[in-house]
Amino acid sequence: MRRLGWLRSTVASAVVAAAALGGLGGGQAAAQGKQLTLCWAAWDPANALVELGKDFTKQSGIEMKYEFVPWTSYADRFLNELNSHGKLCDLIIGDSQWIGGAAENKWYVKLNDFFDKEKISMDDFVPATVVGYSQWPKNTPNYWALPAMADAVGWTYRKDWFSRPEIQSAFKAKYGRDLAPPKTYDELKQIGEFFQGREIDGKKVYGAYIFTERGSEGITMGVTNVLYNYGFAYDNPKKAYQMQGIVNSADAAKGLEFYKELYKCCTAPGMTNAYMQEGLDAFKSGQVAMQMNWFAFFPGLYKDPNVGGDKIGFFVNPAGPKGHFTQLGGQGISVVATSDHKDDALAYIKWFAQPAVQQKWWQIGGYSALKAVVDAPDFPKSAAFAPQFLESMGIVKDFWAEPSYAQLLLDMQKRVHDYVVADKGTSQQALDLLVKDWTKVFKEQGKEVASQ
Amino acid sequence: MDTMTTILQPDHATIPGVSKPVKSRAGRRVHGLSDRAIAWLFVAPTIALLLAINIFPLIWMIRLSFTNLNLSMSYLPLRFVGLDNFRDILTDEDVWFRLQTTAQFVISSVALQVVVGFGLALLINRQFRGHSFWTTIILLPMMLSPAVVGNFWTLLLQPQIGPFNYLISLFTGVPPSSFSMTGQVSLAPWTIVLVDTWMWAPYVMLICLAGLRSIPDYIYEAAEVDRASPWRQFWSITLPMTVPFLMLAVLFRAIENFKMFDMVNLLTSGGPGSTTELVSISLKRAAFEKWRTGYSSALAIILFVTVFGAANIYVKTLNKVKQR
């Protein structure tokens, strides 16, 4: 029993010591200055934002802390945080598709009053980014974010390979036209086939890199670039949520078939589950002639000592038989409703919206959506990829931004990957099943889904 | 009398001059707390933790499985939907397909692990030079984290730079970049079986080794006196006496593989398409990517009941085997 008595006093001492230490820690924390935590994805522009944020700290005295998560777990991690009303993030740069759920679930602070008070006008931003990143419901003046990082899918190509006389003459001999960045998907496929398996500088190279990732959003963000241009739409523009015959139209099925052909004919072996990083690796290692990827990565690629500078060229997502669009990327910055530092977070947004800050944001590797920056006369010459970025932002389309977007996205991931990579069924069957899946999701959400 | 004296002298009746311990309440109290109370005090945090992180979530999950809760649409009113979630799951072709995929993975991987693990145990059971070194080498894979295993096998299996394809090419002459172990529908299911076997066959080996070492030498000596061949000794002594251990290994590995998530998620993400989408991946997607909380709770209960039921039947069989 003496042993138990000894233990009892030890436990009591430990509790007292822990309480004392806890008190001490709290005191230290309280002594520190103000701090804001900004949550975003871990990628090149995030590093630029850290650099930019130093100016904010200098001006306001508010320390900036960052929580960056890799893209493959970005949505899981932060949607979980928002769902559980966590306090990790004061500011969040959330994906465009989250806006519906974030607004309906009140995860974000509505910014209308703040914008009015601070004279921040959404008319000063590129329209597609306002609709894509800020508004919910879409096309209504209800703002939940400030456009922070404009982005879209674009293409890079090996300008040095394209300009070699022997390659140019071989291409002309085969296709009867000059080798140049493709304007249409048919041209892109021809160029892909031309480069596929070709030996350049003693190394076997491949035609094109396209998104095929299964787990998060990869293959959907890739295939939509073709689907839009083949006539695919998410629903009937005249009857919301009416998808039958629109999502699975014969044209859309042809577009899906084309993406599969492109995957089969022109990609490097093993690219069965590849997204942004794999594309960058393939391009940087000199493996592919053309690469599909987000504009956000292009500043970094341009600076690459092996494939950047004069060796790299950029082109806009090619057109298809039914139109010319590209997939919207990018995000808006929002204040998290559960944050204890909302005023400081709003002060950050006010600072970030300033034209001078936006100009610097673009210069150091971010993509501004402010018209004053992108419509400036010298903007197209400010970077090698600036003209293509500007053109792309005028032709963007985005995935569903409904509160149920995650279900809609994962359903599309499954149906498209099943068809394109796993060779399951036909393109028509894949899209028919997708309509079935999406109809079920919208019905669960309480929406009326017309069949015709 | 001091309580400690009572504890140190178990049989008081046989010790002369020592009276029987007083079983009064006061006798067991020290500083106002009885032994039992102190024991409870120490156990209470564990029980509280168990209730908080195991029992309460389980009960909560059962409750949620009868609702339409979707965390991505938590603004919608929570509705009691009865058995709708269970009906949806049990009538969904995709769920049955996932269960079929999982069953194929569990059966193939466990069977292979038992064969390889038992074979390794038979080898390691012999005394040879470098015995300890090789035992350590064989055990290394099971000491690694599944996340590490998933990541480095992804690199090993990469068609262009991964050594695995080059190794296959060396023996078969097939060009290394002409096939993708994780990207082809015909190869991906076998790839996850292969990697899982590489990682967990050593675990089966350890269990089998315990079984082999528990067989008394005199049985083999008696068999040798009877001029039984090594083959006969294996079939009549070694195998029957290690069967309970093998069954235990099968039970542990089958339960683990039924829940398998991390390694497969890293290797294939359930792809190509849905070829290697095990039911655990499906459950994770429903719960934490689609946020279908009600539905995924129901799916989790179905899986729990399935594993629990199968394990119970198996344990009963195991007991019967042991009794024989």
- Chain A residue with minimum CA distance to B177: A269
pLDDT at A205: 97
d(CA A130, CA A128): 6
Give the model's confidence band at A18: pLDDT under 50 very low, under 70 low, under 90 confident, else very high.
very low
- Report CB contact under 8 Å: A214, B270: yes
Residue B304 reports pLDDT greater than 70: yes
**What is the distance in angstroms between the Cα of B21 and the nearest Cα belonging to chain A?**
15
Q: Out of B68, B182, B272, name the one closest to residue A417 (CB).
A: B272
- Chain B residue with minimum CA distance to A425: B273
Looking at A64-156, list the stretches that DSSP marks H as alpha helix, in order from N- to C-terminal side: 71-83, 99-104, 112-118, 127-129
Angle in degrees, 0-180, between the axes of helices B93-124 and B131-143, rounded to the nearest 10: 160
CB B65 within 8 A of CB B294: yes
Residue B133 reports pLDDT greater than 70: yes
Query: Mean pLDDT across the stretch A291-296?
Result: 97
Query: Mean pLDDT across the stretch B21-47?
Result: 76
- Chain B residue with minimum CA distance to A414: B273
What is the value of pTM for the model shown? 0.85
Give the model's confidence band at B72: pLDDT under 50 very low, under 70 low, under 90 confident, else very high.
confident
H or E segment at B107?
Answer: helix B93-124
Tens of pLDDT, residue by residue over B267-298, are: 998 989 999 999 999 999 999 999 999 999 99
- Report CB contact under 8 Å: A269, B4: no
Residue A2 reports pLDDT greater than 70: no
- Report CB contact under 8 Å: B159, A83: no
pLDDT at A63: 97
- Report CB contact under 8 Å: A8, B38: yes
Give the model's confidence band at A27: pLDDT under 50 very low, under 70 low, under 90 confident, else very high.
very low
Q: Which two tokens stand for residue A312?
A: 């790299």
A2 touches chain B (CB under 8 A): yes
A79 touches chain B (CB under 8 A): yes
**CA atoms lying within 13 Å on the CB side of residue B269:** 23
Residues paired with A158 in a beta bridge: A312
d(CA A178, CA A162): 10
H or E segment at A191?
Answer: helix A185-195
- Report CB contact under 8 Å: A1, B2: yes
Tens of pLDDT, residue by residue over A206-248, are: 999 999 999 889 999 999 999 999 999 999 999 999 999 999 9
Query: Mean pLDDT across the stretch A134-148?
Result: 97
Give every strand in the sheet of A331-335, ordered side by side. Answer: A63-69, A35-41, A91-95, A331-335, A146-149
- Report CB contact under 8 Å: A410, B3: no
CB A292 within 8 A of CB A222: yes
B160 touches chain A (CB under 8 A): yes
Contacts of B2 in chain A (CB under 8 A): 1
- Report CB contact under 8 Å: B2, A76: no
Give the model's confidence band at A32: pLDDT under 50 very low, under 70 low, under 90 confident, else very high.
low
**What is the distance in angstroms between the Cα of A433 and the nearest Cα belonging to chain B?**
12
CB A103 within 8 A of CB A142: yes
A247 touches chain B (CB under 8 A): no
Coil vs helix vs strand at A328: strand
B30 touches chain A (CB under 8 A): yes
Q: Out of A270, A287, A403, name the one closest to residue B72 (CB).
A: A403
Residue A66 reports pLDDT greater than 60: yes
Contacts of B285 in chain A (CB under 8 A): 410
Nearest to A99 by CA among A441, A399, A434: A399
Q: Which of A107, A272, A420 to mutate to test the interface with B (most CBs of B within 10 A)?
A: A272
**What is the distance in angstroms between the Cα of B20 and the nearest Cα belonging to chain A?**
18
Tens of pLDDT, residue by residue over A354-374, are: 999 999 999 999 999 999 999
B21 touches chain A (CB under 8 A): no
Q: Which of A273, A402, A445 to mutate to test the interface with B (most CBs of B within 10 A)?
A: A273
Nearest to A95 by CA among A138, A149, A153: A149
- Report CB contact under 8 Å: B271, A214: yes
A345-349 own/partner pairs: CB under 8 Å, 24+ apart: A345/A36, A345/A90, A345/A91, A346/A109, A346/A114, A347/A60, A347/A62, A348/A36, A348/A38, A348/A56, A348/A60, A348/A62, A348/A64, A348/A91, A349/A91, A349/A111, A349/A114, A349/A146
A418 touches chain B (CB under 8 A): yes
A214 touches chain B (CB under 8 A): yes
Nearest to A294 by CA among A226, A163, A393: A393
Q: Out of A272, A418, A444, name the one closest to residue B274 (CB).
A: A418
Beta strand segments in chain B, E: 29-30, 33-34
- Report CB contact under 8 Å: A273, B182: yes
Nearest to A402 by CA among A68, A25, A97: A97
pLDDT at A23: 38
Beta strand segments in A317-357, E: 326-327, 331-335
pLDDT at A450: 82
- Report CB contact under 8 Å: B183, A410: no
pLDDT at A8: 47
A268 touches chain B (CB under 8 A): yes
Q: Out of B35, B265, B285, name the one closest to residue A410 (CB).
A: B285
